Amino acid sequence: MSGQAIVVGGGIGGLAAALALHRIGWRAVVLERAPELREIGAGMSQAPNAMRALAELGVGEQARAVGVPTHASGNLRTPDGRYLQRARLDDPTAMVAFHRADLHRVLADAVPSGWIRTDREVTEVRQDGTRASVRYGETEMSADVVIAADGINSAIRRHVWPQTPPRFLGRTAWLGIAEVADLPGSITLGPGGYFLIHPVARGRAYWAYVTVADAPGVRCDREKDDLTRRLHGWHDPIPALIEATPADAVIHIDIRDLDPLPGYVRGRVALLGDAAHAMSPDRGQGAGQSLEDAVVLAASLAGESSIDAALRRYDTERRPRTQAIARGARADGRRTTSRAAYRAMVTMIGLTPAPLWRAGIAADGNATWRWRPPALSPRAG
């Protein structure tokens, strides 16, 4: 079965969807509202499940070439610098860290030329049973399927499920990229917040500090100074990383997610990525799940005898998994930023035998990471 799709949104999820469709012989256009295609933000990591999805999309090698292995899950510390768990640098690690823009570019470069159209903000979606159409500006465009990959504030989701606004989770985060000497990656657990470091290129590191917040949108004029004060006394290289980040490049965001949707498909409209299941970042799975979505959606379209059956299969396969991961991420975030649970958490991690800890972060060490993609038949490269 072949067909045509409109993908709304040119983030990691939308580009992965276009690429997956290309691999099964469908045609697609990606409508992106930004004037230029680019990924905003700092860094991210991808776990083995996501790396397998990238390989199935045909860009596994290209992604590995711009990513850096990170030992963040193996190096757990306390603010005074003590190691609760420690990875050896020659330990194999299953996690790969990226500058967001690098991973985004790998996907964009693999999408057939002419498919991506920027400066197109979709404001409306309609459908009549066998076709779906979108409107941007004065233009209307229709296709067999519309894939909504337009992020956590998805305009398409508001049309499909009007009562599903994102929810503030009582946590906030500062992020940045700093030019520093090579670092191995680590997570420092403090009372009420944690600091994450991933290497993202030679001499460059991504950092993030996640902590609790009473209300969303609380900002100050000097975010970098505020953060420096909050992390005063934390071990090296944390102060140096913040110091090395230009003040105007410190990003401050609130952590939000979506309550579980009753479905990811309505008629010929399918939600994908954050539009369907935006999640707390604490498991590093949001973008990874959008890559999985893309592969499963395309495999369903290639494998089923009708588009409607394929979309049903996509919803049935993806909803339970992504919603369980989102639930877990929400709980992890609450636990790792809880002052009350801090002592017990640190004691428990410190007492876990190192081989047991390492087994949990091996490539097949947990149920989320064990996922394997369905095969897509490669078409023209």
| Residue ranges binding ligand FAD (CB under 6 A) | 8-14, 31-34, 44-46, 121-122, 149-151, 155, 173, 175, 208, 253, 273-275, 281, 284-288, 290
Report in angstroms how near the CB of residue 226 gets to ligand FAD at its nearest.
Answer: 17
Nearer to ligand FAD, 2 or 199 (CB): 199
Report in angstroms how near the CB of residue 328 gets to ligand FAD at its nearest.
Answer: 14
Cα–Cα dist 86/77, whole Å? 8
Nearer to ligand FAD, 79 or 281 (CB): 281
Q: Which runs of E-coded beta strand occur in the chain? A: 4-8, 27-31, 43-46, 68-69, 76-77, 83-85, 96-99, 116-117, 122-127, 132-136, 139-143, 145-148, 167-179, 186-190, 193-201, 204-212, 251-257, 265-266, 269-271
Report in angstroms how near the CB of residue 107 gets to ligand FAD at its nearest.
Answer: 10
Report in angstroms how near the CB of residue 206 gets to ligand FAD at its nearest.
Answer: 9
Nearer to ligand FAD, 171 or 268 (CB): 171
Report in angstroms how near the CB of residue 48 gets to ligand FAD at its nearest.
Answer: 12
Report in angstroms how near the CB of residue 125 gets to ligand FAD at its nearest.
Answer: 10
Nearer to ligand FAD, 24 or 208 (CB): 208
Instruction: Give first-to-last CA distance, the chain, whole Å.
Output: 19
Nearer to ligand FAD, 53 or 303 (CB): 53
Nearer to ligand FAD, 285 or 336 (CB): 285
Q: Which two tokens stand for residue 243?
A: 């110091």
Buried b (16+ CB within 10 A) or exposed e, 295-334: bbbbbbbbebeebeebbebbbebbbebbbebbebbbeebb
Cα–Cα dist 203/178, whole Å? 8
Residue-by-residue DSSP string for 165-212: --EEEEEEEEEEEEE-S----EEEEETTEEEEEEEEETTEEEEEEEEE
Nearer to ligand FAD, 45 or 62 (CB): 45
Cα–Cα dist 151/134, whole Å? 16
Report in angstroms how near the CB of residue 267 gets to ligand FAD at its nearest.
Answer: 19
